[in-house]
Amino acid sequence: MIIILMGYMASGKSTIGKKLAEKINYNVVDLDDVIEEKEKATVTEIFKNKGEIYFRKKETEYLKEILNTSDKIILSLGGGTPCFGNNMDLILSQEKAKSVYLKASLPKLVTKLMKKKAKRPLIAHIETEEELTEFIGKHLFERSAYYNRAEVVISTDNKSKKEIVTEMVATLF
């Protein structure tokens, strides 16, 4: 089985993915890392030098590649991956995959991202908490229709990483 983790940036996809992988003895694959390795450039550089359309085409190409060749992996998607092209339909059509939306509330995301925004090119330019709340709120509104199509939705608010992983194992297996 491929476990596909989706959610907004800072929702815990990478961290929870690693913890879950340890518990169930799966490998972890981060789609952004695959893109960077194959394109020999960071996601930021790809966006800057080749544009978002190029990036989204490559993202879909590598997503298909992973879904068609891998098993026993936890695949962490980029926050926007399910929302572009036919990526969500592609994900849901995989018989050997389960999609999981790690759902964090707007206040939790704002709190986490205010501390890490320098490392996040999409929000690095945002200066105030109010502006960040507005930015993330708009994104969540646009993206929630895609995220909520996941086969499993796990709320991450007020739960430890261990509790989230335990809930995922109980739900998926």
- Residues annotated in a binding site for Mg(2+): 14
CA distance 82 to 50: 21
Which residues line the annotated binding site for substrate?
32, 56, 79, 143
Using N-to-C axis directions, what is the helix angle for 129-147 and 106-116, rounded to 10°? Answer: 120
Q: What are phi and psi of 94, to 5 degrees?
A: -80, 115
Which residues line the annotated binding site?
10-15, 32, 56, 79, 120, 143
Task: Give me the residue label for tokens 């962490």.
Answer: 76
Which residues line the annotated binding site for ATP?
10-15, 120
DSSP state of 124: T
What letter represents residue 68's amino acid? N
Task: Give me the residue label for tokens 């990483």.
Answer: 161
